[in-house]
Amino acid sequence: MNSTVTTGTNEKVWEGGNQPLNASYGKLMMWFFLVSDALTFSGFLAAYGFSRFKFIETWPIADEVFTHVPFFHGNFPMYYVAFMTFILIMSSVTMVLAVDAGHKMKKNAVIWYLLLTIIGGAIFVGSQAWEWATFINGDHGAVETRGGRILQFVKADTGERASLSDFAKTIPTSRTQHENKNGIWFFDEGYQPSYNLEEVVAGLKANPNIVIRTESIHQEGEHMGHKTVLNREESLNKIKEGRLVVEGANLIHNEYGSRLFADFFFFITGFHGFHVFSGVIFNLIIFFNVILGTYERRGHYEMVEKVGLYWHFVDLVWVFVFTFFYLV
């Protein structure tokens, strides 16, 4: 039995049927999916925010982590991440234009705007892959203490970060190489850093211009917001707590600071990157369908609008991810 809800003026506000609220079944299902996905991302970002607040005194500073630009050497904090964000936002603009062209049944315009959207998404995914690779490989290297803290190195006269290669001494070692020719072919030696702890300690002692910077951030005073830099004597005492050399970041060790930062970075940006990659695939499918005239024959381009909703969602989520990881 059908029922109708009316207002005091007998105006119909819900009629049910195949298109409740003037939305097709496909659009409603897309909205249901986006709401559930938004709750998922909200949970991840809330967990990140809680962890950062709890360990705020030792959390890595984004401006000192994301400083790389492809094909350029130097310190360019946040430049490339800002470029990635701009590309993704512009792809949302081209998607809006594609949807609008679909409403006007302009097939060629839909094709071109969808192509620009796909290119923007591909650039973003490629840039994120490059950023991951850079984050994993590391830049300067550090020493992890027995308590799990990270000790970085800076130049005392300028305050600039010092790479291990700038001061570490190469000491001949008798460490066995696990290779087939040595008869230990069945055991993989695994990853080894460029320098061992002994070489880093020797280099620190021999170079008076190198001092240690700890994870701790000044909470007040003229150095507020900056990592704590030890003097020469404190540095020589602190290095005694060293346990191993760390280069780059993974789920266990992180040369930039708290390992939780790396865990959240890989998980949340990877989850979002998977969404963008999926969106590029969806857009490609719709793109070829438009070329083949599938939607022209149907008499509408609603499929473009539905995939557009998904694309705007992943763009909006990136705004929050960008804010949480890079700006706050």
Domains of the chain: 23-138+261-327 (1.20.120.80), 142-247 (no CATH)
The predicted pLDDT at position 77 comes to: 87
pLDDT at 199 over 80: yes
Q: Is 311 helix (H, G, I), strand (E, B) or coil?
A: helix
Specify whether the CB–CB gap between 325 and 62 falls below 8 A: yes
Longest dimension (CA), the chain: 91
Confidence of residue 220 (pLDDT cuts 50, 70, 90): confident
The predicted pLDDT at position 316 comes to: 95
More confident residue, 99 or 193: 99
Give the helix ranges, DSSP H, for the chain.
Answer: 25-54, 62-65, 79-103, 107-137, 164-167, 197-206, 232-238, 259-264, 270-292, 294-298, 302-322
The predicted pLDDT at position 309 comes to: 95
- Nearest alpha-carbon partner for 249 in 152, 327, 168: 152
Q: How far is CA 231 from the centre of its chain?
A: 34
The predicted pLDDT at position 143 comes to: 94
The predicted pLDDT at position 158 comes to: 87
Q: At 321, which amino acid appears?
A: V
pLDDT at 178 over 90: no
Specify whether the CB–CB gap between 80 and 70 falls below 8 A: yes
Mean pLDDT of 53-59: 88
- Nearest alpha-carbon partner for 212 in 284, 263, 141, 274: 141
pLDDT at 112 over 60: yes
pTM for this entry: 0.84
Q: Is 70 helix (H, G, I), strand (E, B) or coil?
A: coil
- Nearest alpha-carbon partner for 307 in 44, 92, 55, 73: 92
Q: How far apart are the C-alpha atoms of 269 and 129, rounded to whole Å?
A: 10
Per-residue CA distances from 119 to 113, 123, 273, 310 (Å): 10, 6, 15, 16
Q: How far apart are the C-alpha atoms of 24 and 313, rounded to whole Å?
A: 19
More confident residue, 222 or 86: 86
Q: What angle do CA 234, 236, 239 make, to 5 degrees?
A: 105
Specify whether the CB–CB gap between 239 and 231 falls below 8 A: no
pLDDT at 179 over 60: no
Percent of the chain predicted with pLDDT > 90: 61
pLDDT at 41 over 80: yes
